[in-house]
Amino acid sequence: MITIGIDPVAFSLGPFEVRWYGIMVVLAVVAIIIIALLEARRVGISEEHVYSVGLWAILGGIIVSRLVHVIDKWDYYMAHPRHIIGFEGLTVYGAVIGAMLAVLIYAWVKKLSFWRLGDVIAPGAILGQAIGRIGCIINGCCYGLPTSLPWAVVYAHPSSYAPPGVPVHPTQIYHLLWNLAAFAVIWQLRTQLKPQGSLFLTYLALYAIGDLSIRFVRPGEPFLFGIQQAQLIGIAILVVAVPWLVIRMRQAKAETTASGLVIGANQSERNRED
C-alpha cells in the first residue's frame, strides 16, 4: 500500500486557501500555451491567436465544466440553487467540450480553420491534463474504488477528498500515465497525420478511451443505462471522432492518389509531345 499524507492546501493567505490542485491547474494552462505557441510557429499561425483563443478556451471550459457538473448533480442543485454558481465542482469533460466550443466560435469569428487550431492545441491539451492529474493525486479527488491490490493508495490527511484510511485504486495515477502515453503518441504523430484536424480527433479519441476505461474502477452514480455521465460522454466522443477520423483520412488519401494520377498523366502527355 502507498500512503499519501500530503496536505492538499499548499498555503493560506488569511482565510484564502491555495490548494496544490489549483497550482497544478495553473501550471497545466501554462504548459498548454507554451506548446501551442511552439506548434503555432511551426505551422505559421500568429502568436496573437494562441493567446486570444487560450483566453476563450479557459472561459468556455470553466462555464461548460460547471454546467455539466450541475446537470450531473441536478437534484442537489435544485434543492440548493444558490450553490449553482461556484467552482467547487468542475468536470474534465465539461472543460474539454467548453474549450472546444470556444475554439470553434473563435475560429468562426476570425475566419480561421478550426481543424488547424485544434491540431495546434491538441499536444499541449493532453499534457496539461496529465499535469492536472498531479493535483488530483495530492488533492485526493477522483479517487478509485476500494481495492486490496499492492499498489493501492491510502489517504491519511484529513483535508483530502478521498475516504481516509481506505485503500483505493490510484485512478489519478492511471489517468496521469495514460495521458502521458497519449501525449507521446500525439507528439510523434503531429507532423505525420493528414489532413488538418486528424491530430485533434486522435487526441479526443485517445483521451476518451482512457477515461472511459479508468472510470470502471472509479465510484460514480449511474446516469443513464447504468453508465456514468462521463462514460456516456466518452462513448459519444468515440462514436463521432473515430469514424470521422477514418473518413477524413481516407478522403485525403484518395485525393492525394487522384492528384498523383493527374500529375502522372500530365507528365506522360508532355513526354509524348517532346
- Eight-state DSSP code of residue 83: G
Stated pTM of the model: 0.85
Half-sphere exposure of 32 (CA within 13 A, CB side): 27
Give the tens place of pLDDT for each residue, 18-36: 889 889 989 999 999 999 9
- Eight-state DSSP code of residue 82: G
Give the tens place of pLDDT for each residue, 85-133: 655 556 777 888 889 999 999 999 999 999 999 999 999 999 999 999 9
Task: Give the Cα separation of 70 and 33 in Å (integer).
Answer: 28
Closest listed residue to residue 198, CA positions, set 210, 185, 209, 211 = 185
Q: How many CB atoms lie within 10 A of CB 124?
A: 27
Question: Which residue has cell 477522483?
Answer: 142
What backbone phi and psi angles, to 5 degrees, belong to 156? -110, -20
Give the tens place of pLDDT for each residue, 112-125: 999 999 999 999 99
